[in-house]
Structure 1
Amino acid sequence: MVKDRHVIETLGKVRVVIENGEITEVGSSDMKYCPMFHAMHGVEELNEEFIRKNINFRINDFGMCTPERVVEMDDLVTVGISEILKTNMEKGNIDCVVGACDGAGTLLMTNPRVVQGVGGRVSGLVSTTPIPEVIEKLEEKDCVILNPETAELNQLEGLKLALDRGYKNIAITILPSPMVEEIRNYPVDDGVNVYIFVAHTTGASADEVKMLFENADIVTACASKAIDEYADEHEPYYYGVKVPIFCASDDGRRFLDIRLEKIGKPLTTNNYPRNKDDTPNKLI
């Protein structure tokens, strides 16, 4: 029997292990302050006590890493990757999202509310093991699991599966890794578009960040020192002050602006130097 074990990175690249619905390991991070958590919850310091409290809230509220996992949600914040994807799927610009879900691994999603539910409140998923109840819920919502037996995380194989299923406008969510470049260079037929959304970039190296901006469409800032420095030098379009979302391509900007138009927000900006009075501390 496969041991129930899920590893995520959250709140400044803190490694958290969850087994059988219980937190069994909490790492540490140099990042002690996040403006978003301060604004939403009044949190002054991202210490171990708060991290445990936050992860337990996710476990109890929507069943993260448990059989009680909720797989459909409405919008959680004004602008995040899952919200951008959900809106563009509703508009018909994206017909499949290759994502990752705790308890299921890499999967194909075609339901906008599932896209939001799977990605909305989960941090970087490092590894996971199958939870049959979660897989069943997802399959009932027309999701296709890459490997239900192992809950494998492999976004390149997810892309191949989406192509085999005949999807034409495929968005992929992924963490920083060399696989981003592999996905961008993977051969596809004429008329097929592949869009890459990179999240959880805290701790990425300068070389990684350069590669991300050369290959992705949207890159979140998180608490990445290298992205902060890259943005200052290259001045990509972005939205947000506390934790910006950067457009690495014209398609990325188009997707972001479609979300902003829906919620009545000003479109992407190019205001440099950026206001950094309220950013994560410290950047990693």
Structure 2
Amino acid sequence: VVEVSDPIIADCPLAKRFAYPVPEITKDAVKANIEARILSFGMCTPNREVLDTRVFVGFGASELLSFGIHAGILDAAVIACDGAGTVIATTPALVQGIGGRMSGLVKTSPYHQVIDRIEKNGGFVLDHKSARMDQAAGMVLAYEKGLKKI
């Protein structure tokens, strides 16, 4: 962890339920949580795990998207992944593995190991070179790949 800015909020009920809980949002607590994520599943490293089937939050975005793919309501979801940028995820395990433990992502750098892992598991990565995040371009790529319910 290179830098943690001063928190804007002091409390988050969901953060209290994280695998590594954040009972009070302080710089030290946020840093410890991110370090735990790095150790636990390789967040923001070349070792980033991308598959998971566990439910982390019953009402979370990744859980809803995973269910949509599982039920055939969706063909894929366009999501963001640290180490890969915009990803078209075509399996519930890929959606959940990428999004289930990520709170938010603004920018990332490409890790080819992560990109390869995603693509070996049925996903598509928009931009191998820069790992840019562009959900609209991800929708176009998904459509070009023959996916319709996105």
Matched, 1:46 2:25: yes
Distance (whole Å) between structure 1 residues aligned to residue 131 and residue 9 of structure 2: 30
Q: Which amino acid aligns with 1:48?
A: K
Larger fraction in strand: 1
Uncovered stretches (5+) of structure 2, i.e. residues with no partner = none
Query: Which of 104, 122, 128 is the matching residue for 1:148?
Result: 128
Distance (whole Å) between structure 1 residues aligned to residue 128 and residue 21 of structure 2: 39
Matches within 5 A, 1:196-235: none
Deviations 1:108-167 (A, max 9, x none): 110110000111111221111110110111110021110101111111111111111121
1:30: how far off? 2.5
Q: Which amino acid aligns with 2:77?
A: V
Distance (whole Å) between structure 2 residues aligned to residue 148 and residue 67 of structure 1: 14
Matches within 5 A, 1:257-272: none
1:39: how far off? 5.0
Q: Structure 1-normalised TM-score? A: 0.50
Query: Which of 14, 19, 22 is the matching residue for 1:36?
Result: 14
Matched, 1:72 2:36: no
Deviations 1:172-228 (A, max 9, x none): xxxxxxxxxxxxxxxxxxxxxxxxxxxxxxxxxxxxxxxxxxxxxxxxxxxxxxxxx
Equivalent residue number for residue 128 of structure 1: 108
Query: Which of 126, 136, 139 is the matching residue for 1:159?
Result: 139
Question: 2:84–2:128: 8 Å Cα contact kept in structure 1?
Answer: yes
Matched, 1:97 2:73: no
The answer to which structure, 1 or 2, has the higher relative contact order (CA under 8 A, 6+ apart) is 2
Matches within 5 A, 1:17-32: 23-32=1-10
Distance (whole Å) between structure 1 residues aligned to residue 120 and residue 90 of structure 2: 12
2:87 is paired with a residue whose SS is strand
Q: Which amino acid aligns with 2:119?
A: E
Larger Rg: 1
Q: Which amino acid aligns with 1:59?
A: I
Query: Which of 161, 164, 169 is the matching residue for 2:149?
Result: 169
Question: 2:7–2:27: 8 Å Cα contact kept in structure 1?
Answer: no
2:105 is paired with a residue whose SS is strand
Aligned length in residues: 148
Q: Structure 2-normalised TM-score? A: 0.92
Identical-pair percentage:
40
Distance (whole Å) between structure 1 residues aligned to residue 4 and residue 34 of structure 2: 10
